[in-house]
Amino acid sequence: MSGPDGNNSLLYVAAEYRSVDSQIVHVSIDAPGSGYVAGKLRISGGAGAGFAATVAVNGSGAVISVLIGSGGSGYIAGDGSYIIEVLHIGTNEAQDGSIASAVVDGVAYAAYTDGGALTAVCTTVGCAGSGLVGTCVVSAGNVTAVVITAFGVGYNASALPELSCAGGAGQTFTAVVPSGVRFSLDRTRLSLLQTCSGSASCEASGGITASNVTVGPGVVVDNARYVATLGLTRAGVADITVGIASVGGLSATYYQCATGTSGDTCAFGAAAKTVLDATVDFSSVDAAPGAEVTWPSSTDLPLAYFKLRDASAFLVRWSGWVKSSVAGTHTFSPAVVGADERVKLWIDSNLVIDQWSSLAALAPSVAYDLSAGVPASLRLEYREVTGTQGVTLSATAPGGSEAPFASESLLRPSSFAAVPGGFVVTVAPRPVCAAASLAAGAALTLVTAHVPAAFTISARDAYGNTPASGSGDAPRFVVDLAPRGVAYDAPRLRAPLAPLERGRFEARFTATVAGAYTASIELAERGSLSATYYTDTSFAASVLSRLEDALEFASADPSSTAEWPGTSDEAFPAGNMTATFRGFLDPPTSGRYQLFTDALTDAQRVRVWIDQVCLGHHAPCWLHIAGSVPHMRIGR
pLDDT single digits (tens) 584-628: 888 888 887 777 766 666 777 788 888 777 776 555 555 543 334
The answer to which of 15-24, 164-173, 401-410, 477-486 has the lowest mean pLDDT is 15-24
Instruction: Work out the number of other CB atoms within 10 angstroms of the CB of residue 181.
Output: 23
CA separation for the pair 433, 143 (Å, rounded): 38
Q: Is the pLDDT of residue 298 over 60?
A: no
When pLDDT is cut at 50, 70 and 90, the band that residue 396 belongs to is very high
**DSSP label at residue 204:** B
The reported pLDDT for the residue numbered 297 is 46
The reported pLDDT for the residue numbered 2 is 40
More confident residue, 45 or 291: 45
Q: Is the pLDDT of residue 306 over 80?
A: no
CA separation for the pair 15, 422 (Å, rounded): 10
Instruction: Work out the number of other CB atoms within 10 angstroms of the CB of residue 47.
Output: 13
CA separation for the pair 89, 417 (Å, rounded): 51
When pLDDT is cut at 50, 70 and 90, the band that residue 373 belongs to is confident
On whether both 237 and 254 belong to a single domain, the answer is: no
The reported pLDDT for the residue numbered 314 is 81
The reported pLDDT for the residue numbered 78 is 61
The answer to which of 5-9, 204-208, 231-235, 520-524 has the lowest mean pLDDT is 204-208
What does the pLDDT average to over 368-387? 86
When pLDDT is cut at 50, 70 and 90, the band that residue 190 belongs to is very low
When pLDDT is cut at 50, 70 and 90, the band that residue 122 belongs to is very high
Sign of CA dihedral 29, 35, 37, 39: negative
pLDDT tens digit string along 378-392?
999 998 887 777 889
- Which of 523, 541, 562 is the last residue in one of the domains? 523
The reported pLDDT for the residue numbered 224 is 52
On whether both 199 and 147 belong to a single domain, the answer is: no
List Cβ neighbours of 169 (8 Å cut-off, separation of 6 or more): 108, 109, 110
The reported pLDDT for the residue numbered 616 is 63
User: The domain that contains 448 carries what CATH number?
Assistant: 2.60.40.10
When pLDDT is cut at 50, 70 and 90, the band that residue 81 belongs to is confident
Q: Is the pLDDT of residue 143 over 90?
A: yes
The reported pLDDT for the residue numbered 114 is 92
When pLDDT is cut at 50, 70 and 90, the band that residue 1 belongs to is very low
Instruction: Work out the number of other CB atoms within 10 angstroms of the CB of residue 347.
Output: 22
570 within domain boundaries:
no
* 3-class secondary-structure state, position 240: strand
On whether both 277 and 253 belong to a single domain, the answer is: yes
The answer to which of 81-85, 90-94, 194-198, 407-411 has the lowest mean pLDDT is 194-198
* Residue 163 identity (one-letter amino acid): L
On whether both 271 and 378 belong to a single domain, the answer is: yes
Which phi and psi angles does 216 have, rounded to 5°?
135, 170
When pLDDT is cut at 50, 70 and 90, the band that residue 77 belongs to is low
On whether both 171 and 225 belong to a single domain, the answer is: no
What does the pLDDT average to over 193-209? 32
On whether both 122 and 27 belong to a single domain, the answer is: no
614 within domain boundaries:
no
The reported pLDDT for the residue numbered 551 is 77
Task: Determine the structural domain holding residue 311 and report its residue range.
Answer: 247-411
When pLDDT is cut at 50, 70 and 90, the band that residue 105 belongs to is very high
Angle at 64 between CA 474 and CA 159, to 5 degrees: 135
When pLDDT is cut at 50, 70 and 90, the band that residue 198 belongs to is very low
The reported pLDDT for the residue numbered 135 is 93
The reported pLDDT for the residue numbered 285 is 52
pLDDT tens digit string along 426-455?
888 888 988 888 888 878 888 888 889 988
Q: Is the pLDDT of residue 633 over 70?
A: no
Q: Is the pLDDT of residue 65 over 60?
A: yes
Contact 564, 555 (CB under 8 A): yes
Contact 44, 193 (CB under 8 A): no
Cis peptide before 630 (omega within 30 of 0): no
Instruction: Work out the number of other CB atoms within 10 angstroms of the CB of residue 171.
Output: 19
Average predicted confidence (pLDDT) for the chain: 76
The reported pLDDT for the residue numbered 350 is 83
When pLDDT is cut at 50, 70 and 90, the band that residue 556 belongs to is low
The answer to which of 147-151, 211-215, 361-365, 431-435 has the lowest mean pLDDT is 211-215
Return the closest-CA partner of residue 193 out of 428, 450, 413.
Answer: 413
On whether both 358 and 396 belong to a single domain, the answer is: yes
Instruction: Work out the number of other CB atoms within 10 angstroms of the CB of residue 253.
Output: 15
Contact 185, 194 (CB under 8 A): no
1 within domain boundaries:
no
Contact 153, 85 (CB under 8 A): no
DSSP assignment string, 441-485 = SGGGT---TTS-EEEEEE--BTTSPPPPTT-SSPP-EEEEEEETT
CA separation for the pair 376, 381 (Å, rounded): 17
When pLDDT is cut at 50, 70 and 90, the band that residue 91 belongs to is confident
* 3-class secondary-structure state, position 275: strand
Q: What percent of the chain has pLDDT over 70?
A: 74
On whether both 302 and 164 belong to a single domain, the answer is: no
What does the pLDDT average to over 555-584? 65
- Going along 397-464, which residue ranges are E strands? 403-404, 410-415, 423-427, 438-440, 453-458
CA separation for the pair 409, 412 (Å, rounded): 10
611 within domain boundaries:
no
Q: What percent of the chain has pLDDT over 90?
A: 19
Which phi and psi angles does 132 have, rounded to 5°?
-70, 130
Q: Is the pLDDT of residue 168 over 80?
A: yes
On whether both 295 and 375 belong to a single domain, the answer is: yes
What does the pLDDT average to over 210-225? 37
- Which of 508, 523, 538 is the last residue in one of the domains? 523
631 within domain boundaries:
no
The reported pLDDT for the residue numbered 112 is 95
H helices then E strands: how many in the chain? Answer: 0, 43
The answer to which of 261-270, 406-415, 563-572 has the lowest mean pLDDT is 563-572
Angle at 442 between CA 141 and CA 28, to 5 degrees: 130
CA separation for the pair 156, 181 (Å, rounded): 14
Q: Is the pLDDT of residue 127 over 90?
A: yes
The reported pLDDT for the residue numbered 636 is 31
Half-sphere exposure of residue 401, counting CA atoms within 13 Å on the CB side?
0
397 within domain boundaries:
yes
How would you class 27 by CB atoms within 10 Å of its CB: exposed for 0-12, middle for 13-18, buried for 19 or more?
buried
Instruction: Tell me how far apart the 2 most distant CA atoms of the chain are, in Å.
Output: 105
What does the pLDDT average to over 349-358? 86
Cis peptide before 431 (omega within 30 of 0): no
The reported pLDDT for the residue numbered 622 is 57
* Residue 616 identity (one-letter amino acid): G
List Cβ neighbours of 385 (8 Å cut-off, separation of 6 or more): 263, 264, 266, 313, 338, 340, 341
Most confident of 214-223, 488-497, 538-547: 538-547
* 3-class secondary-structure state, position 564: coil
The reported pLDDT for the residue numbered 489 is 63
CA separation for the pair 205, 191 (Å, rounded): 10
Q: Is the pLDDT of residue 118 over 90?
A: yes
List Cβ neighbours of 282 (8 Å cut-off, separation of 6 or more): 294, 295, 296, 297, 389, 390, 391, 392
Contact 508, 454 (CB under 8 A): yes
569 within domain boundaries:
no
On whether both 255 and 293 belong to a single domain, the answer is: yes
On whether both 295 and 389 belong to a single domain, the answer is: yes
Q: Is the pLDDT of residue 519 over 60?
A: yes
Contact 534, 540 (CB under 8 A): yes
List Cβ neighbours of 21 (8 Å cut-off, separation of 6 or more): 73
493 within domain boundaries:
yes
On whether both 345 and 485 belong to a single domain, the answer is: no
Q: Is the pLDDT of residue 124 over 80?
A: yes
Contact 22, 74 (CB under 8 A): yes
Q: How many domains does the chain have?
A: 5
Contact 101, 174 (CB under 8 A): no
* 3-class secondary-structure state, position 135: strand
